[in-house]
Structures are given as structure tokens and as C-alpha cells.
Amino acid sequence: MIRSPRPVPSRLPALAAAGLAWFACLAGAAAKPAPVPPPPARDPTVVQLEAAYRPIAKINGPDRARRACADRDKLRTAVSALPKAAPAGSPIDGDAWHASVGGLALAVENFAAACQAPDLKVHHISGEVETADACLSRVDEEVQIVLDAARPRDLLPAMKRFQAALQRVVRETGSKQLCARRDELAKLLAGLVESPPRADTQKWEQAHARAARNLDQIKANRCRGHRGAEVELADAITQVHDGFYQLVLLLPPRDE
């Protein structure tokens, strides 16, 4: 008797399954988000500032300022070592960084002067008198401002566009150039009205409103070519610049 040949099992189902698995792998790989780059290495001078301030931050009690005076020279050295430009990863520009560091340097010098006075007070040329405690409170605030400004943040695309337009305005001189670009800045600022995820919505709305008012004042009061307009416009640019970077610093840092 002639036997019929044994049926050969088809390999098509297995090949199809393997192909589907391969495509699924590809799809998964394509859907996988790109890895987030790690934040840049921290600037050593910022780390030095933190180290110099840490012993002062830990002091409590009514005699805090007098005890903190012992560390004033270390703090002054750390502040003087801070870079001229913003650390890598910080989204603020040189002017904003310079203002932050300058505010801290002034606060530290006032505190050091109060430490050297027998009554622990600094007497300003204006006649104002500040106690060492008041000076140290200002140091506390200014240190946090500098440390926060140094933290890496990722600007939103709309913020990058506003920043680029603002830098063009800062580089230009004259009321005609600023007034001509005022509407462009206002339009770009309108695109930033909504707070980004994880930002403090209330603070964002307040900072945005201040920046918008500054731009409105440029158009209403400073673009009419009256005498002294150039000085007023320079002041207005500074206010718009500072208002924008208040928004920038409300962005959640990358290292959170």
C-alpha cells in the first residue's frame, strides 16, 4: 500500500508571527521618547557659594547676625568668585545674571560693614541706618536669587522667540527702533499668557501682567518723541527685560 506523504507543516504562521513581533518592536522603539539630557555639571563657583552660605543658614536665634559675622569673609570670597556670565544651562542672559550677582555682592558688603561696626549697624550716605540683622536678611534673599538663577531650565519655544526679539531691541538704540518693535514684543508676549505645566499659575499671571503693562506704557507714554524720551525708553527696556526674566525664573528647573 502506498502511503500518502506526511503533510509538511506550514512555516507561514510562524514567519507571520515573527514579522509582527519585529514590527511591534520597531513601533515601540519609535514611540519611546528621546532621553532627556542630564543637566550640565554645576558651576564650581556656585557650589562654593552654597558651601560658604550653608553655615550661616544653619544659625538660628536672636544672636544670629553676630554669630554669622564670623563667616562673612568666606561669603565675600565666594561671591567675588562668581562668573561674569550665567552658568551653563541657566536660561537668563548676562544682564539678568549680572543684576542678580550685583545685588548679592552689595548685600554682602553691607553686612560685612555692619559686622565691623561697634553697634553692628551700617550707616549709609543717604542717612539710612541698617542693623546687621536687616543686612543678613537681605543676604539670605539675595543668595537664594542667585542660586535659583543658576539652576538649569528649558525655555518654551514661545519664550525663545520673545527672548530673541528682546535681545534685538536691547542691541538697538533710539526710540524709533523700540517703538517699531513694541507691537512685535506685545504679540509674542501674548503667546505666553498661559502658565506652563508645574509653574505657579498665580505668580505667572502676575508676572505676565506686569510685563504687559510695561509694554503698554512704552506705547502710551514713551513713543511720542517728547524731550527725554530716550532716557525713558532705556528705563522701559530694562523693565520689560526684567519682567520677562521674572517669567523665566518661574519655569520649573530641570533638576527638580
- 69-122: pLDDT as tens digits: 999 999 999 999 999 999 989 999 999 999 999 999 999 999 999 999 999 999
Q: Is residue 227 part of a domain?
A: yes
**In this structure, which amino acid lies at residue 62?**
P
Picking from 95, 114, 149, the residue at the C-terminal end of a domain is: 149
Percent of the chain with pLDDT over 70: 77
Asked whether residue 92 falls in the same domain as residue 127, the answer is yes
What is the chain's mean pLDDT, rounded? 83
pLDDT in the model for residue 12: 45
Query: Which segment of 17-26, 47-56, 214-223, 241-250 scores lowest on mean pLDDT?
Result: 17-26
Q: Is residue 39 part of a domain?
A: no
pLDDT beyond 60 at 7: no
Asked whether residue 70 falls in the same domain as residue 120, the answer is yes
The CATH number assigned to the domain holding 66 equals 1.20.120
Picking from 149, 174, 195, the residue at the C-terminal end of a domain is: 149
Asked whether residue 173 falls in the same domain as residue 112, the answer is no
Q: Is residue 223 part of a domain?
A: yes
pLDDT in the model for residue 256: 65
Asked whether residue 189 falls in the same domain as residue 126, the answer is no
Query: d(Cα 159, Cα 157) in Å, to the nearest integer?
Result: 5
Asked whether residue 120 falls in the same domain as residue 57, the answer is yes
Asked whether residue 83 falls in the same domain as residue 104, the answer is yes
Query: d(Cα 137, Cα 214) in Å, to the nearest integer?
Result: 29
Q: Is residue 17 part of a domain?
A: no
Asked whether residue 171 falls in the same domain as residue 241, the answer is yes
Number of domains the chain is built from:
2
Asked whether residue 135 falls in the same domain as residue 171, the answer is no
pLDDT in the model for residue 87: 93
**What range does the domain containing 221 cover?**
157-248
Task: Report whether 164 contacts 177 (CB < 8 A).
Answer: no
Can you say whether the dihedral through the CA atoms of 125, 127, 133, 137 is positive or negative? negative
Picking from 149, 177, 204, the residue at the C-terminal end of a domain is: 149
- The residue with greater pLDDT, 60 or 29, is 60
* b/e sequence 161-190, b meaning 16+ C-beta within 10 Å: bbbebbeebbeeeebeebbebbeebbebbe
Query: d(Cα 90, Cα 203) in Å, to the nearest integer?
Result: 20
Percent of the chain with pLDDT over 90: 55
pLDDT in the model for residue 16: 47
Asked whether residue 214 falls in the same domain as residue 191, the answer is yes
Q: Is residue 122 part of a domain?
A: yes
202 Cβ contact list (under 8 Å, min separation 6): none
pLDDT beyond 70 at 22: no
Q: Is residue 116 part of a domain?
A: yes
Q: Is residue 255 part of a domain?
A: no
